[in-house]
Structure 1
């Protein structure tokens, strides 16, 4: 029965991992959270083919932003001057390819907003 249910709704382990990842990102300070969510959105457009591989990538992304927040590393020092290049390089390490120009613009704008929100309140 469990096998049939998982075929219909998907792997429960992966769903639990995704929920843990999203909870970690939501717990980040506002600027870091906005940046991580913007990168997540951009990376999702790369068309993940292997769920486990991409879950690992997102978990690593959460690790990166948690550590940066703990160390007080500014968002710009994480992603550099070109967030798109950062995202594409990050994705390439996990086998990701492809992008959408609109998402490049959104990512750059979100990182700019995140930079201004660092240490501030949600807007």
Structure 2
């Protein structure tokens, strides 16, 4: 395993990352949280609501999730700087907004895998050839 600076990781760090996940992703998360903390209160409240939703339905891959949250911070920092009203960011349906936003980061998403699994099961049950090999679970 290599670190970003091409130095070998210590055995302790390798073990720690196996247990807790990549330390770089943790740094990215802390940086994201610091950025959100600096937002005006109404934007921060909106981001925190999105964050709660995305924790459940967002990507399961930590690197993909880190990118998604950084992009979320970018969006709200720009919106706050431009004075864009919250409702203008979200539109009339906040769920539609967050679903469209999250679709850009579907790698590792458990909900995406379950949707595919459901679709395949229904196709098999209906006798349709899905063109995929059947796996037993």
Same fold (TM over 0.5): yes
What stretches of structure 1 of length at least 5 have no aligned partner?
Answer: 99-123
CA distance in 2, matches of 1:47, 1:29: 24
Structure 2 match to 1:18? 29
Q: Which has the larger radius of gyration?
A: 2
Please identify which structure carries the higher helix content: 1
Unaligned runs of 5+ in 2: 1-10, 112-137
TM-score normalised by length of structure 2? 0.67
Larger RCO of the pair (alpha carbons < 8 Å, separation 6+): 1
Superposed CA RMSD in Å reads 1.4
TM-score for both structures, normalised by structure 1: 0.75
Moved over 6 A (4+): none
Alignment coverage as a number of residue pairs: 98
CA–CA separation in structure 2 for the residues paired with 1:73 and 1:66: 10
Question: Relative to 1, partners in 2 of residues 1:54 and 1:19: Cα closer, same or farther, differing over 3 Å?
Answer: same
